[in-house]
Each structure stands twice: as C-alpha cells, then as structure tokens.
Structure 1
Amino acid sequence: MKYSVLLLLIPFIGFSQIPEKDGEIKKYVSEVNSDSLKSYINSLVSFNTRHTLSKINDPENGIGAARTWVLSKFKEFAKNSGGRMEVYLQQQDIQPDGKRVDQVTNLGNVCAFLRGTDPGDKRVFLISGHLDSRVTDVMNRTSFAPGANDDGSGVSAVIEGARVLSRSQFPASVIFVAFSGEEQSLLGSKLLAEKMKKENVQLEAVLNNDMIGNAKAGETGEINDHTLRVFSEGLPYADLDKKALGLRNLGLENDGESRQLARYIKEVAEKYVKKLEVKLIYRNDRFLRGGDHSSFVNCGFPSVRLTEYYENYDHQHQDIRKENNKQYGDLPEFIDFNYLRKNVAANVAVLASLAKSASKPEQVEIEVKELTNSTVLHWKKPKSGLAAGYYVLVRETDNPLWQKKIFTKELSLKIPLSKDNYIFAVQTVNTSGNVSVPVIPAIAK
C-alpha cells in the first residue's frame, strides 16, 4: 500500500485553530532593513582592521574600537527591552600558542543577553557572527582588513537581530554574540561554549552566521541571491563513542539534534521570507573547514552554520589590491544587501519562532514490545509553555525532510506505518502556531 494511502488510515484531528503564520513574527521579519545592515557594515569596515591581535586601546582603529562600537549598539537597543537585555564583554587574556597567537592577547566576545519573560523557562537560543577580520597573511594585524562579508555580514545579522527583537516578550531567552578569535582557531567561541557547558546552560540552538552577504561566484560569475546554505552535523560529535551503537541500531545516523535544527530552519525561514530557499548541506561545515558553531557542536549543543550559496575567494582572506584590472579584497561594494536582508530575516524568523514556542515534549518514546506494522508513540507535556497540541512528524527513511505532519491533542498516537520504513518525531505546537524543534523517540521501556 502506498504512503499516501496509508496516511488516509490515520485518524484526522482538525487543527484549523492553529494559524499558518504568526503575525508577530511576520512583523519582525518586515522590520529587517537593508539600509541598517549597510550602515553596520560600513561602520565595521571603518576600523581599518578587526584582527584579533590588533590594538585594543586605540579608540578609532582595531578590534578594541570595533567591539566598543558593537557594545554601544547593543546598549542602544537594550533601552527598548524594559531592563531585560544585559550587555557585556566576555574577556580573557590568552597566552601565545606557537600557532596563530604570538603575543598575550585580550580576547573579547561582545554579548547581549535578552532574558525571557517566563522565569521557569530555562531555554536559551543563540545567534552569532565573528567580529575579527584578516587579509592573506593570517598573522597580519596592521593592514587594511575590511572584513565586510567575512564576517561583517554575520555581525550585521547579530546587531540587526538585537535591534528588531529587543522589544519582544518571548518566554525563552536569546543571546546575541559577536565573537573574536575566529580566524585564530575559533578562540572566542570556544571560550563561550566551554563556559556554557560548565554552567549547564540549557542552550537549545546556535545559529552561527559566517559570510551571508555575497551572491556572486568568483570563478564563473554566476549569481545566486535566493539560496542560503545551512550546514549541520549528522552524527553527534560529543560522546559519539558512547552513542554510535545505539544510533546504528536505530538507523538514526541522519537525525542528530543539529540536523533536526537545520530542518526546522528550512521550514520556518521559507515560510516567512519571500524568495528564499534554504539548502541543507549534510556536513558540519564546508569541506575540511570550520567555523564558530563547531565549538558548540563539540560541547554537545545543537549548532549550525548559515552561509551564502557561493563563496567568492577573490574577496575572502585577500590583501586589498588590484591586479589586471580586478579588485581583490573583502570590501562593502561586493555585498548584495537585498540578499543579506533576506538571510538576516531568516535568522530573525527562526529565533522568534523558537523563543515563542513551548518547550519540547518530554519523554517521547516508541513502543517495541510487539512486532507490528503499525507504530505507537507516546510522550509527556513540555516543561514550559502551553501546548495547543502536538505534531507527529513522519518521513520515509531515505527522505531528507519531514513529509507529513499529523496533529493531535493527545499524548499518544497509533500510526498505521511500520517502524522499518519510516522515521518519526514529535514536536509541541502552541496556539500561535509556533513549534518546538522535533524530538526523535527513544525506545519505551
């Protein structure tokens, strides 16, 4: 019997009371402004270089001046939050490592923490980009390194996200971060990820934006101004040796928490942002390369990288120069600000959807006590937030995306589909239509 026919056997429970789109999120998406993004990037470029090893005491040039400016923007937006946005600089002096740090350096992550309105909701969602920039020589800390796209574009997403969402009243918390030290081996993100792991922060999603403003391929000149790549790991890096056997037995090699987050991003972003396709890349990062989200992946937090469809290597990690009438270097003139606006809007929509949702259903389990061609799932209510109901998600094992949503107000559901042929998950849905990240069921005891 075909998949579509089988689903007709499932008892249908109407969900007309659940809106397709949340009006508040639509409003936030509409407020993302390309002129604001351009002004942020031009300001970042004006600091001459934002190299991690550059001066921190010069008021006009270097990484110190840049992070002071980002702090000032966060403080400006914090005035809209009713006292719920805390702005600070996470600092640590790091020692020379014989690799990409050759002097004692004050490392600083610029942070704005927007506290949720529900004291009982401990969830935290994080958006990031990296503040530091570079030229061809990764140790060159004095030459003009504008870093307009790498990663002024990502930092502009963080700043604009803080501006747009500063007035929100989400039950969960959101943290906006501009990392330092990315080009010197992810130093800033490691500092924050390890701190959050040590403090047992309930960090449920990291959206790391690194180069989201270039639409033109360097080699071919092709333009893609409508596709955003999202990189996610499949097998969980953290404690993989302990989890690998169970993942193999259950056939869940493609269903780690970061991969679930990536699918969530695709669904939400494409729903709220016009003329945007989210392309899921089934790798943790680009081939043999890495970004700040990897620091959080390594600490066991669901984390993904958001990146433009094409990287242009004429304008990435390049000295500013002209050769044979070709301009090299990461300059603002090579940013497509409408494309950047769409990618930032995707971040805003996803953050708002996550932070407005109720938390995940608890103790999601699948029954295996009998051999059957049907599947029974059961779960418990979320720890925080009110559930209007739940979506049971279904997809065939060889399909990368969820194919069917079944709505129920119950805490269990029997589905006439075999566990052999399908993957299942459950997510909470609230009255505004916002959903939690899906939970893959464990084996019922």
Structure 2
Amino acid sequence: MKYTATAILLFFFLPTFAQQTIHRDPLITGMMEQIAVANLENSVRKLVSFGTRHTLSDTLSKTTGIGAARTWLKSEFERYNKENGGKLQVTYDSFVQPADGRRVPEATVLKNVMAVLPGTDAADKRMLLVCGHYDSRVTDVMNNKSNAPGANDDASGVAGVLELARIMSKQAFAATIVFVAMVGEEQGLYGATNLAKRAKAEGWDVHLVLNNDMIGNTFGMETDLKNNNQVRIFSEGVPAGETKEQTAQRLSTGSENEGHARQAARYIKEIGERYVDQLEVKLIYRRDRFLRGGDHTPFSAQGFTAVRITEMNEDFNRQHQDLRTENGFKFGDLPEYVDFPYLQKITRLNLAVLANVGLAPQQPTAVKLVTSQLTNNTTINWAAPVGKAPAGYYVLWRETTSPHWEKKIFVKGTSATLPYSKDNFFFGLQAVDDKGHESLVSSPYLR
C-alpha cells in the first residue's frame, strides 16, 4: 500500500465488535464536567417564572413577559463576562419587525440577546453560533396573555446556551463563538431571520450554526418510549442557495448527501459520541420535522451551515398547549416534565463540538479530486489553510451508502493517492492540530 504523502492509519468504523480507541482532550472533558444539572434547571425555572415569554407580550414589566425575560438573559451574559475577565461582548440584536398581516399585527421592536466570545487568531474569521429561542406560546399563537411556561420549548435550549457561555468564556479559542437567545421563533423565525440576514450583509463567516430547540424531553407521546441516550441532528441535503454550477457538480457526482450541513452532522456525531458517554447521535436527513420549523433554516437560506439539535422523542401534549387538566391529565410545557440530566448530556454534546472546532485549524482549501485519468486509485490535492498551522490532515472515506465516515488516515503533505476507487467511495478532508482537534470536513471538487 503506497501513498504520495506520509500516512498513518488512524481508525476504522468496522462492525460493532471491532475495537475502538477513543482520545479525548482533557481541556474539553474538563469543561464538559463543569456543566451542572442544577444550573440548567435553575435557568429553565427562571425563564418559566416570567409567566409568558410570548413575542408580543409585556416589555415594560420587570417580572413578567418577554421584556423581563430578555433583560434577565442579558444580565446573565453580563455576569459571566464580569466573572470571566471581560471576554464576552454582550448586546441586544434589536430590530423592528414590520406587521405581517398574520402573526405580527403591528410593527414591533424585537431583540435577540447575544454574547460574543472573540477568537484569538486574527487570521481566523470563523464564527460558531449556538442558539435556542427564548419566546414561548400556548395553543393560540396570538395569545400573549396566558401563562406559557415553555420549559422544554425552548427554555431548555436557552438554558444550554447560557451554561455554554458561562463555561466557555473562561477559555480561549481560535475561532469566535457566538451565544444567542433568539426571539420571535414561534411567530415566524423572525429573530433568526434578522440575524442571518445581518450576518450575510456584514460578511460574517458563520462557519457553523447549532440550533438547540427542545433538548430536555425524553418521553414520546403515543409510543410511550422513554429514551435519554439518543439525540437527533436534522440536516438539509441540497443547500437552499445552490448555484447552477453546484447543481451540475452534484448531479455528476451523486453528492446529494455531501453538502455542508450533512458534513457538519457527521462531524457532530463523531465528536459527540467521542466525548459524551451513553449518547447516540442519530442523523436525520431532513431540514426539520414535518409541520414545524426552526431557527437554523433562515441561516441555511443565507448559505450558512446550520443544523437542528433536538430530542429523540416528542410529547405533543407538552408543546404549544394551554395549561389545563382534562380527565385527570395535566397538559402544558412545565419544568416537571424536563429531564435535566438529559439536558446536561445534550449541552455537553454542544460544548464538545464547539470546542473541538473552535480549537482546530481552519479547513483546508482548494480540495480537488483528480478525475483526469482512468485509474482505480484516488488522488486528492489541497492547499493549506490560513491562520493556525495544522500538524497535518485527515483524508476520510466511506462507501457511497454509508451515512458516516468509515476510515481516515493522517497525512503530512497536501496530496494523497489512495488505493481506493473514486467511483466507489466518497472522500473528505480535515485539518488537524497536534492535540487532535479536527476541522469540519471539506468535500473535494473535481479537477
């Protein structure tokens, strides 16, 4: 077996009886251990205490409504900033949402709550965004008065974002990490839409968006399944903004599952299962669930890599429900139905992914799959990334029917020839540093 660059076989995803060696960075595991169930529960219960967090609810009260909720969220980010040496940039992302004749009857000022942890590498423009939405609702989406606790949907996601900001702002990362509590999700993804358009207009390099929406429930309505060891990652196949050239390339290579979101989902699965015990990451090849949407979709529409992280099972009696008891059954999205140790697991998943990407070199560029010759070998060429210099690269490959990468090798140079036919496998490339932090995967283009 011969390669055009120095290669070391790293691991195989073989049948379940094959031995696997897991390498974890102590820095990342140390951060993960700081994620506290008590903090997550306290944040969920605090958000529930505001009564309703409906997007159009009271903005003047200090104790109830969307205004009180966003004030508290901003104060929490500011507290972490003060405790951790002033590393966070805490702001409102404020905008006026025009009346839409549907769910926003009149022009309304809305505010996302943001905390930015700037990257330490001036040449690294990557921004990693993690979010949940802090607004809530009951059965009638226009009811802005009734109690809408929204404990799981989506105080759970916001609680995870807060805990991530608290812990990760103690550290330094090459890439910039953005922690966001989104507004207006239930009214029509308005907060995410505004931020995604702003990011596009201002030229942000939004490298990855992790949208955490309902990550605290483990019970499945009707099926009676209770599952605290699986989580779903929803990812789109064909990007919303695909160009004609990209369409032609996709059709010629059969690469419907090789888009940025699908590659990110595979990365989340690998890193999540590497670091979080008793958690299986399930790849769902859809943008989102039927009849529902999420805050990752506006970022996908702007051409950014975005996925949804959500619980494996859903209890629709706890979503978008008026608080009531019928035939002895209590309806409503209340804190007592949130599985906080499960929420801790999913928050740890987010941390492992954000930290591993944030510490890694940038992705290799100009990745080319050579197709100019009839050969059963595969040659891939690439260029080194700017910024933090990698220790080397991983060339990855898998069969075309496999949902995740099956093999990877480490190479030192910027070219590799493998004894595997390009007709029979998909290939990818990562940059990696001397501590094993891998970049996201770059798919090769044809040459």
Which TM-score band applies after superposition, normalised by the shorter structure?
over 0.9
1:305 pairs, out of 296, 304, 308, with 308
Are the equivalent residues in 2 in contact too, given 1:52–1:180 (CA < 8 A)?
A: yes
1:421 pairs, out of 416, 421, 424, with 424
* Alpha-carbon distance between aligned partners in 1 of 2:394 and 2:132, rounded to the nearest angstrom: 32
Are the equivalent residues in 2 in contact too, given 1:29–1:345 (CA < 8 A)?
A: yes
Are the equivalent residues in 1 in contact too, given 2:8–2:409 (CA < 8 A)?
A: no
Q: Which amino acid aligns with 1:52?
A: T
Deviations 1:250-289 (A, max 9, x none): 1111110011000000000111111011000000101242
Are the equivalent residues in 1 in contact too, given 2:377–2:421 (CA < 8 A)?
A: yes
SS state of the match for residue 68, structure 1? helix
1:13 pairs, out of 7, 26, 30, with 7
Are the equivalent residues in 2 in contact too, given 1:361–1:439 (CA < 8 A)?
A: yes
* Alpha-carbon distance between aligned partners in 1 of 2:6 and 2:245, rounded to the nearest angstrom: 39
The 1:374/1:288 distance shift into structure 2, 3 A limit, reads farther
Shift in Å at residue 221 of structure 1? 2.0
1:189 pairs, out of 184, 189, 192, with 192
SS state of the match for residue 174, structure 1? strand
Are 2:436 and 1:443 equivalent residues in the alignment?
no
1:239-250 aligned at under 5 Å gives the runs 239-250=242-253
Are the equivalent residues in 2 in contact too, given 1:80–1:166 (CA < 8 A)?
A: no
Are the equivalent residues in 2 in contact too, given 1:19–1:432 (CA < 8 A)?
A: no
Counterpart residue number, 2:333: 330
Shift in Å at residue 83 of structure 1? 2.9
Root-mean-square deviation (CA), in Å?
A: 1.5
Deviations 1:349-369 (A, max 9, x none): 111011000000111111112
TM-score normalised per structure 2: 0.95
* Alpha-carbon distance between aligned partners in 2 of 1:153 and 1:201, rounded to the nearest angstrom: 27
Are the equivalent residues in 1 in contact too, given 2:97–2:190 (CA < 8 A)?
A: no
Counterpart residue number, 1:34: 37
* Alpha-carbon distance between aligned partners in 2 of 1:104 and 1:362, rounded to the nearest angstrom: 44
Count of matched residue positions in the alignment of Structure 1 and Structure 2: 436
Are 2:309 and 1:293 equivalent residues in the alignment?
no
Are the equivalent residues in 2 in contact too, given 1:232–1:282 (CA < 8 A)?
A: yes
Counterpart residue number, 1:58: 61
1:233-312 aligned at under 5 Å gives the runs 233-312=236-315
Are the equivalent residues in 1 in contact too, given 2:51–2:148 (CA < 8 A)?
A: yes
Deviations 1:42-90 (A, max 9, x none): 0000000000000111111000100000001100111244333100001
Deviations 1:140-166 (A, max 9, x none): 000000000000001011101101101
SS state of the match for residue 153, structure 2? coil
Counterpart residue number, 1:4: none
Q: How much identity, in percent, do the aligned residues show?
A: 46
1:44-443 aligned at under 5 Å gives the runs 44-443=47-446
Shift in Å at residue 239 of structure 1? 3.0
* Alpha-carbon distance between aligned partners in 2 of 1:14 and 1:298, rounded to the nearest angstrom: 39
SS state of the match for residue 271, structure 1? helix
Shift in Å at residue 419 of structure 1? 1.1
Shift in Å at residue 19 of structure 1? 8.7
* Alpha-carbon distance between aligned partners in 2 of 1:15 and 1:36, rounded to the nearest angstrom: 42
SS state of the match for residue 149, structure 1? helix
Deviations 1:204-248 (A, max 9, x none): 000000000000011132101110100000111113555222111
Q: Which amino acid aligns with 2:128?
A: F
Deviations 1:327-375 (A, max 9, x none): 1000000001111110110001111011000000111111112111111
SS state of the match for residue 261, structure 2? helix
* Alpha-carbon distance between aligned partners in 2 of 1:98 and 1:114, rounded to the nearest angstrom: 38
Counterpart residue number, 1:5: none
Are the equivalent residues in 1 in contact too, given 2:361–2:433 (CA < 8 A)?
A: yes
Deviations 1:101-142 (A, max 9, x none): 112211100000000111221110000000100000000000
Are the equivalent residues in 1 in contact too, given 2:9–2:410 (CA < 8 A)?
A: yes
SS state of the match for residue 151, structure 1? helix
* Alpha-carbon distance between aligned partners in 1 of 2:258 and 2:77, rounded to the nearest angstrom: 36
* Alpha-carbon distance between aligned partners in 2 of 1:360 and 1:186, rounded to the nearest angstrom: 30
* Alpha-carbon distance between aligned partners in 1 of 2:261 and 2:7, rounded to the nearest angstrom: 30
Q: Which amino acid aligns with 1:367?
A: V
* Alpha-carbon distance between aligned partners in 2 of 1:12 and 1:390, rounded to the nearest angstrom: 10
* Alpha-carbon distance between aligned partners in 2 of 1:102 and 1:242, rounded to the nearest angstrom: 41
Task: Flag structure 2 segments of 5+ consecutive residues without an equivalent.
Answer: 11-20
